[in-house]
Amino acid sequence: MTTSLPNLPIEELEKGDSSEEKGLNFRPYLRTLIRKAWLIGGLTCLTTFGAWMWSAQDPYTYTGNFLLLVEPITASGKLTNPTTLTRTGGVPRDELFALDYPTNLVFLTSPGMTLRIAEDVQEKEKTRGIPAIWLDLRENLQVTRAQVGQGRGSETKIFVVSYTGENPKEVQTILSTAADTFLQYSSQDRETNIKAGVKFIDEQLPELQSRLANLKEKQRKLRQNYELIDPLPKNQEVLTQISTIEQQQFNLNTQLQAQIKLASSLQQQLQLSPDEAFAAATLSQDPTRVALLSQLQDLDSQIAIASATFTNNSPQVQDLKEQRDNIHNLLNQTTQEIITKNALSVSPNSAALKFQDPTRLGLIQQLLQTNNEIKQLEAQLQTIEPKKQQLEQQVKRYPNLINEYTEVERQITLTEEILNKLLLQRETLKVEAAQEIPWQLISKPQIPLDEEGNPIGAPPSRNKKLLAGAMAGILLGTGLALLWEKRRNIFYTAEDVSEVSNTTLLGEIPKDDRTLLSEKVSPSYSPKTELEETERVYEDKVYTSMEAENLSSPSYQSLFLEAFDDLYLQLYLQQASELRSLMLCSVEERDGCSTTAVNLAINAAQKGQQVLLVDTNFSNPQLHNLLNVSNQKGLINVLRDQVSAQTVITSVDTIDNLSVLTMGEGVDPTFKHLWSPKLKSLTEELEKTYDLVIYDSPSFFLTSDIKLLAKQTDGIIMVATLKKTPQSLYKKAIKEIQRLNLPVLGSVANNMV
């Protein structure tokens, strides 16, 4: 059973692509810098030396300073300071009158202050112009706060003013001018600012006073028009009155409804209307009518008695009836007179005309009284309703009035507050304007002198220029190194091949360190080298013929052969399935593709695999030369259906398990089409017959048919020759492989050429 070689995953290329997405790879640039370290180092030394020569011409610099006391030292000084009296009411508090140190430090070195100093210095020293002096002041004039020790609370009340320049006389002049300017600022300028503040306040006071007077007049008119002092309490008072009236209405309506129900009940009981009840009461109070009613009742009684004894026609009964009629007529006459006299409204058949006993009279009296109370309650309701409506109309006006009044009052309060503050501040500034000069010069402007009285200067600092020169050399050298290698466009190391192309590096083949490719192949075979007779080149070294023989002795372990062992092992270990065929390809001729294919096939055959080498390089077939076999007939004859594949496949006599299918003679130089349906069936037949089929192909861009052939194999191995193969062409080939989704096994870096 033969040993099989596992398949290579074509996803390696995709993994390589993902690494490109993770970020920029700096390793190729680092290797470039290491290779060109001599260039970078030489330029760095040159630019550093130039910077040293340049810095040797720098002059000495001179630094002078003076000290300013900007606040009183003792507590008594603070208490006598007018600022303390005006701002603290006589009670000193540091946070209220202490100097604003950060602001003053920035102001003293501001462009405006330094320009004033530059103008004064230019008047004294005519050596330079104002712009030049001003520029030096902005860069070299420093104002700091003196400290005693470290940490918080170590700051003093002293300003340290220093200046550095190249001319000691000019330095002294600038320091003296700065001292005068700062003292002038602390006295005249500050006093001028205070006076300007007082003037500003005086200009604002008339407008504020006029505004306050107008607001108060508006407030007075509001009070006068609405007869109130404050609309808010008045509004509450009106709301209280409305609530009281509504309660009264509720109570009166309750009483009215009760009286109406009582009157209705009495009317039903008496069968009298209110007018009839009044008429009945009036009629019942007339003594004549009452007497007549009494007589009429007596006659009715007598008639009833007589009727029981006598007949209706008897004189006694008739006489009584006649008397009753007379009294009845007199009663009607009297009743009519009373009705007419009192303007009563009574119907002829009304019960009010009848005799009213005391009980009915009591009920009638109660009905009349109830009716009177109803009228009183209705009158009271009618009386308070207009008052309620008047109050409601009044209360509707109060919200707008309250808003207007409140706004006026707020503006009055705000205006009074501003006015009071301005008045207080004016008095404060007037007191401060009379204070003494707060800043004192406690150390005169001076430059340190030596024993002979000459200014002491500091030598120029060359570190910055030397560092700048070194950095310029490094940057220039780095740029030239990267540009140099970019223009050469070749691979220098195997890592470059893997990282530039984003493919798996399967192996790195060193230069052939043997005198022959393999003594087992053919004694006539000799690899192409630059020196063939007396000298041979191995790993960038020149060996004599005797030394070359020692390298080829059995005791010497060839690095060249070990590289193919590693290549085969890399293929074997990385795969998870069987690999039946592969193609070796390069982007240019003479990139060692054929040599790599032969030695990989030899190595696989020595591992026990049945290996077939197929020469598909129609432009420059090499396998028959490298293996010293016949090329009379080969692949071209099989594709033309002239012979079968098995009749032209040749076994290599000196190597077991290795066979070769050469290209064959008679290939037309203009032949560009390698692919045919016959080749497809041939590749399938060969994969069934052999454990591993290796195709030696022409350069990648020579013909498009090579891509069709690659699709029939299990993967492509791209061969790149260090210091020869163009990087751009190699990357173009890899992108084309990706675009066509061809299987890729990886790359091999070749040092053989």
The 10s digit of each residue's pLDDT in 553-563 is 444 567 888 88
Structure tokens at 506: 């399967």
Find out whether 70 and 534 touch, Cβ atoms under 8 Å. Answer: no
* Angstrom distance (rounded) from CA 438 to CA 436: 6
Structure tokens at 698: 């022409």
Pairing of strands 692-696, 581-585: parallel
Pairing of strands 577-579, 535-538: unpaired
Find out whether 163 and 141 touch, Cβ atoms under 8 Å. Answer: yes
Residue 21, pLDDT above cutoff 80: no
- Out of 231-235, 260-264, 362-366, 684-688, the most confident range is 684-688
Q: What is the mean pLDDT of residues 221-243?
A: 69
* Angstrom distance (rounded) from CA 83 to CA 480: 68
Ranges of H-type helices in 129-228:
130-140, 168-184, 190-226
- Ramachandran bin of 396, using left for φ above 0, alpha for ψ from -120 to 50, beta for the remaining angles: alpha
- Give the tens place of pLDDT for each residue, 720-732: 888 888 888 888 9
Return all residues near 376 (Cβ < 8 A) that are at least 6 apart.
none
- Three-state DSSP class for residue 586: coil
CA 449 to chain centroid, in Å, comes to: 58
Q: 640-668 in b/e burial notation, b at 16+ Cβ within 10 A? A: eeeeebeebbbebeebebbbbbbbbeebe
Find out whether 406 and 219 touch, Cβ atoms under 8 Å. Answer: no
Q: What DSSP state is assigned to residue 348?
A: T
Q: What is the CA radius of gyration of the chain?
A: 65
Q: In this structure, which amino acid lies at residue 27?
A: R
Q: What is the mean pLDDT of residues 143-168?
A: 84
Return all residues near 190 (Cβ < 8 A) that are at least 6 apart.
438
Find out whether 721 and 589 touch, Cβ atoms under 8 Å. Answer: no
Find out whether 227 and 334 touch, Cβ atoms under 8 Å. Answer: no
The H or E element spanning position 538 is strand 535-538
Name the band, by pLDDT with cuts 50, 70 and 90, for residue 611. very high
* Angstrom distance (rounded) from CA 729 to CA 108: 66
Average pLDDT of the chain is: 75
Structure tokens at 65: 């300073």
Work out whether the CA dihedral 510, 515, 518, 522 comes out positive or negative. Answer: positive
- Per-residue model confidence (pLDDT) at position 660: 94
Percent share of the chain, pLDDT over 90: 6
Structure tokens at 279: 């008429």
Q: In this structure, which amino acid lies at residue 597?
A: A
Pick the more confident residue, 219 or 507: 507
Residue 394, pLDDT above cutoff 70: no
Among 533, 532, 564, 523, residue whose Cα is nearest residue 719? 564
The H or E element spanning position 744 is strand 744-750
- Out of 31-45, 255-269, 632-646, the most confident range is 632-646
* Angstrom distance (rounded) from CA 183 to CA 172: 17
> Which range among 35-39, 416-420, 703-707 shows the weakest confidence by mean pLDDT?
35-39
Name the band, by pLDDT with cuts 50, 70 and 90, for residue 690. very high
Residue 39, pLDDT above cutoff 80: no
**Partners of 67 in the β-ladder:** 160, 443
How is 295-307 classified by DSSP, letter by letter? HHHHHHHHHHHHH
Find out whether 358 and 296 touch, Cβ atoms under 8 Å. Answer: no
First vs last Cα of the chain: how many Å apart? 38
The H or E element spanning position 721 is strand 716-721
* Angstrom distance (rounded) from CA 460 to CA 166: 10
Q: What is the mean pLDDT of residues 682-706?
A: 88
Name the band, by pLDDT with cuts 50, 70 and 90, for residue 494. confident
Residue 483, pLDDT above cutoff 50: yes
- Per-residue model confidence (pLDDT) at position 542: 35
* Angstrom distance (rounded) from CA 631 to CA 663: 7
- Ramachandran bin of 90, using left for φ above 0, alpha for ψ from -120 to 50, beta for the remaining angles: left
The H or E element spanning position 249 is helix 231-270
How is 487-516 classified by DSSP, letter by letter? HH-B--SHHHHHHHHT--EEEEE----SSS
Residue 257, pLDDT above cutoff 80: yes
* Angstrom distance (rounded) from CA 753 to CA 750: 7
- Out of 171-180, 256-265, 574-583, the most confident range is 171-180
* Angstrom distance (rounded) from CA 206 to CA 224: 27
CA 22 to chain centroid, in Å, comes to: 25
Backbone angles phi, psi at 543, to 5 degrees: -110, 145
Find out whether 371 and 256 touch, Cβ atoms under 8 Å. Answer: no
Return all residues near 406 (Cβ < 8 A) that are at least 6 apart.
232
CA dihedral 235, 237, 239, 244 (to 10 degrees): -170
